[in-house]
Structures are given as structure tokens and as C-alpha cells.
Amino acid sequence: MRTTGLFVTFEGPEGSGKTTQLQRLGAWLAQQHIPFVLTREPGGTVIGEEIRDLLHDCAHTEMHARTEILLYSASRAQLVAEVIRPALEAGKIVLCDRYVDSTYAYQGYGRGLPLADLQAITQFATGGLMPKLTLYLDVPVEVGLARRQQSGETLTRLDREAVTFHRRVREGYLTLARQAPQRWRIIDATRAVDEIQTALRDELRPWL
């Protein structure tokens, strides 16, 4: 399907600061009167937010890796149909906090599920919709996890995974970025918040 808007995704390991940066980018676009939609995964729809609660609930220690991928994909299918495609068709910019690359990094490289299976499920969930640009906020695992703990936010089921899991996730992201350099930009997210914001705006500006 042909879309006219611009689809940009934001990826990163735990504690990369994506959410703060995205809010600021949204404010910057709004100042310029550029129509945009800011959304997130899992979530972004009423159904998706309920799935998010289920996925992140630390009580669900028994959740199987296959259940997990299907739930993330269910949330994604709803978000694509209800929010992302309509916004792109209306010519808007869509900024999405996580998308399919989170599945490849966390369920693929992190959990060890076969990438070919994940690709098939993802294709079904999204109808093949891919972002034009993926901004990856990179932080070493120890830095990211320490930030998450200091933030005072409730830790999710995935935050509680072993450090080795999070290392595989970060390495996975870097591998994915190397495989598709035309779509990915790696942003050093160990820097100050303002510097990271400037770097993100510099990446986005040529597309506006």
C-alpha cells in the first residue's frame, strides 16, 4: 500500500531515554505546525494498552516466549490498523516509540526465537509496513539499567531479565543497524539530554 506520510521509529535498550526525547521532538514539530502522531509499542490503542499491562506485569513469570511474541504482535497489528496507517494516509509524520525491531532485538536476539519465524509473524501483523527511518538511541547496558532503576518508574517483567539478556538485546540492535544502514541512525545516548535532542532533530530535519 502506498502511504504519503513519514514513518519514523525510535529504538533502544532499557534506559536509553527514548520517551523523554520523543516528547521533546513532538513539541518541536508542534511549534512548526507540522502534523504528527506520537505513539508507542506495546500500546497506543485501547486494546494495545491492555495488552501492554498484561505483557509487563511482573506476576506473569510463567509467560512463554511464544505467547510473548504473539501478544506484542497483536498490539502491533491493532496499532498499525487503527493509528499508523490512517495517519500516514493523511500525510502525517508518525513517531513511534518502538516497533518491529524491538521484536527482533528482544524476542530474537534476547530470547533466542528464530528470526525467520519472527519475520513471518511480523509480516502478518503489519502487512509489511516498515519505517523509512529508525533512530536508535544507544547506551551501554549497565548505564541504561542504572538509569531505569534511578528513574523511580515501576520495573517491568523485561527490566527484570538478567544483564546477559540485555547485552544480547543491545548487540542485536547493533547487528540490525549494521545490516540496514540506509534506514538506521545510531545516536550516542550517553550524552546530555539537550545534545541528544539536537542530534535527533538534525537527523529528522532533512525529511521534513
Q: Name the residues that contact ligand TMP, by CB under 6 A.
A: 14, 40-42, 72, 98, 102-103, 106-107, 156, 158
Nearer to ligand TMP, 32 or 154 (CB): 154
- Ramachandran region, residue 5 (left: φ > 0; alpha: ψ -120 to 50; beta: rest): beta
Question: C-beta of 148: minimal distance to ligand TMP in Å?
Answer: 8
Nearer to ligand TMP, 34 or 49 (CB): 49
97 and 40 in contact (C-beta within 8 Å)? yes
Cα radius of gyration rounded to whole Å, the chain: 16
Question: C-beta of 106: minimal distance to ligand TMP in Å?
Answer: 3
| Type of residue numbered 118 | L
Crossing angle of helices 115-126 and 65-79, rounded to 10°: 30
Question: C-beta of 178: minimal distance to ligand TMP in Å?
Answer: 20
Nearer to ligand TMP, 72 or 136 (CB): 72
Nearer to ligand TMP, 92 or 98 (CB): 98
Quote the CA–CA distance of 25 and 31 in Å, as a whole number: 10
Q: Which residue's CB atom is positioned nearest to ligand TMP?
A: 106
DSSP classification of residue 1: -
